[in-house]
Amino acid sequence: MSAELLVVRCGLVPYEEAVVAQRWLRGAREDGAVPDVLLLLEHPPVYTRGRRSDDEELPMAREWYEMQGIDVRDTDRGGRVTYHGPGQLVAYPIVSLRPYADDVHEYVRRLERVAIGALGALGVVAGTREELTGVWVGERKIGSIGVHVSRGITTHGLAINVNNDLQPFEWIVPCGIEGCRVTSLSRELGGEQDLGGVADTVVAQFGEVYERTPASATPAELGLDNARLGVA
């Protein structure tokens, strides 16, 4: 029997609140107080800068981006700059790497398989590209991956463009890739998609790829009160 995976659908959550929630859950997972957890959510408009980001990836001044209604945040995940916004599905797994012999690369490869499998089930053929991060539809990027691992527990994870505005990607160098073209599920399929249905597909793929049994949980059931996630 596969291990349990608690799936928490959080709605629209400010980025910093999601970071606090992940840190708290990471500690709880390390202590064995909770099993593996998958947070599913959206963020208000925000650019997040990974550990390898440099200033050239945000060619405008920070104040300019804020005038467009987009926050800018530094983060401890791997990778470079990316954009999150409403209509994009963000998946943050807080899981132990012990079943994967603490192999971060194997964990990331499986995360790619989750995204590729979910997109395929939804009618979009996606894959990876050699020496480039993320998940792609041909030469168009549709998903970003960036993780952080502390004491064998993961945070951060995967973002899939579903219905979100793609314009903000044109104001940066996405993931440090010059000339990067970005797409979304709605653009590829020619119409707005059901974000909840996309989330269901991602959960099913995650359970299959990571050999977990998904079970729904509320933020309150995991102790994610207003101070940790902005919802109860």
pLDDT tens sequence for the chain (232 residues): 468 999 999 999 999 999 999 999 999 999 999 999 999 999 999 999 877 766 778 888 889 999 999 999 888 887 778 999 999 999 999 999 988 878 999 999 999 999 999 999 999 999 999 878 889 999 999 999 999 999 999 999 999 999 999 999 999 876 666 778 999 999 999 999 999 999 999 999 999 999 999 999 998 888 886 546 654 3
Which residues sit opposite 137 in a β-bridge? Answer: 140
Which sequence positions are flagged as catalytic?
A: 175
In the prediction, which pLDDT does 228 show?
60
What are the residues whose beta carbons fall under 8 Å from the beta carbon of 80, sequence distance 6 or more?
Answer: 49, 50, 52, 53, 54, 57, 173, 175, 176
The reply to whether 215 falls in a domain is: no
Number of domains, the chain: 1
What Å distances lie between residue 218 and 11, 26, 221, 223, CA to CA? 11, 17, 5, 9
The reply to whether 23 falls in a domain is: no
The reply to whether 201 falls in a domain is: yes
pTM (predicted TM-score)? 0.93
The reply to whether 111 falls in a domain is: yes
Give the CATH number, domain containing residue 112.
Answer: 3.30.930.10
The reply to whether 10 falls in a domain is: no
In the prediction, which pLDDT does 54 show?
67
